[in-house]
Amino acid sequence: MINVFQPTLGADELDAIAEVFASNWLGHGPRTKAFEEQFAAHLGVDPGHVLFINSATSGLFLAAELLGLGPGDDVVMPSASFVAAGNAVASTGARPVFCDVDERTMNPTAAHIEQALTPDTKAVLVLHYGGLPGEIAAIAQLCRERGIQLIEDAACAVSSSVDGTACGTFGDVAMWSFDAMKVLVTGDGGMLYVRDTELALRAKRLAYHGLEQSSGFTAAKVSHRWWELNVKDFGRRIVGNDLTAAIGLVQLARLPELITRRRTNSELYDQLLTDTHGVLLPPQTPKGHTSSHYFYWIQLDPTIRDHVAADLLKEGIYTTFRYPPLHKIPAYGPGHPELPGTEKSSENTLLLPQHPGLDTNDIHTIATALHTSIKHHTTPTHN
């Protein structure tokens, strides 16, 4: 079976875990701190604004709380978003206002965002599709001009940037995901970035029971009766730990290598699939943009897309589609506008296997199976 996504973990990650076991400190501790510092350096931001948490989903819910979203507020976001983003907004009582995306990049343009703004828009929430930054710089400028908060769901964009500025640092709050299928994997985990200093401190409290100190052991160094609680916010417990941070530190050091392998996969796909009748390749990245190459996707005739996916599955090649449009989901309410780019791309897009574990043979196998299937379904007698 060729998987669509897959982690790349090895001896170095295992050694790092063994060290944590030997230290007997598995909780939030020195490795968590080191991971936050090194990730902040990777982003080019102050480490005081970065927090290692247990998932990007936790980060989305925390962002909604930090920005004070609630009933009467609108949040403009692409319908082509991950379900956790819709849930995080809707759970506060705020209204998700779904905007369209470019049918090729699957990212919203600044114009798509602007068209969807309402007088009650308090925040905009965007992601970077498959690692493509999209018009994030223009969207950030638009939000600044209008006094609207910008949340970047940077789950796909751990190594994406525009003219040297890391995706996730354009807006007010951002989160990255390190779950088992992402580019940088810690098992489960995520990073949170909060631009405002006060809000960053509040995020840290809200991530750990509303407390200033993350453990009594730390508190013991600065106060007697370190077991007493000073609750400042009604927080949850969504912090990361030293076991997952240890894996994250190794994966972060390996990130350039992991991205290079992904880029090589994309280039080979481009080469093998170019000129395939009826197949559109992912759009070129504009000058100055870098991608994390999280997804490799093709677009094809919507009447054959599902058949092609089924044929590939029969050949042991697992493909998928991200992100099924949220405006079609009844839970997010009625009355959404037509979103032609979203609807078209949700019917014609297929994500091919993309991860560093693929070798040249795998990609040749996938390309051959794809050619055969497409040919089969586009020959009139077989339709």
Ligand X SMILES: *Cc1c(COP(=O)(O)O)cnc(C)c1O
* Interacting residue ranges for ligand X, rule: CB under 6 A: 55-57, 82, 84, 127, 153, 155-156, 177, 179, 190
| Shortest distance (Å) from residue 377 CB to ligand X | 29
Tokens of 352: 């091919």
How do strand 289-290 and strand 161-162 relate by DSSP bridges?
Answer: antiparallel
CA dihedral 183, 176, 106, 117 (to 10 degrees): 180
CB of 354 vs ligand X, minimal distance in Å: 13
What is the token pair recorded at 64? 């909604």
- For ligand X, give the closer residue by CB, 142 or 351: 351
8 DSSP assignment: -
Q: Name which of 107 and 266 has its Cβ closer to ligand X.
A: 107
Judged by beta carbon, residue 54 or residue 161, the one nearer ligand X is 54
Nearest-approach distance from CB 249 to ligand X, in angstroms: 18
Evaluate the omega torsion of the peptide bond into residue 323 and state whether it is cis, within 30 degrees of 0: yes
Q: Which of 285, 296, 283, 312 is nearest to 355 (CA)?
A: 296
Dihedral sign for Cα atoms in the order 283, 284, 285, 291? positive
Minimum distance between the CB of residue 64 and ligand X, rounded to whole angstroms? 13
Minimum CB distance to ligand X, residue 119 (Å): 28
Task: Name which of 13 and 311 has its Cβ closer to ligand X.
Answer: 13
Nearer to ligand X, 162 or 374 (CB): 162
CB of 166 to ligand X, least distance (A): 16
Strand order in the sheet with 121-127: 50-53, 190-194, 173-177, 149-153, 121-127, 74-78, 95-99
Q: Which CB sits closer to ligand X, 81 or 121?
A: 81
Question: What's at 369, amino acid-wise?
Answer: A
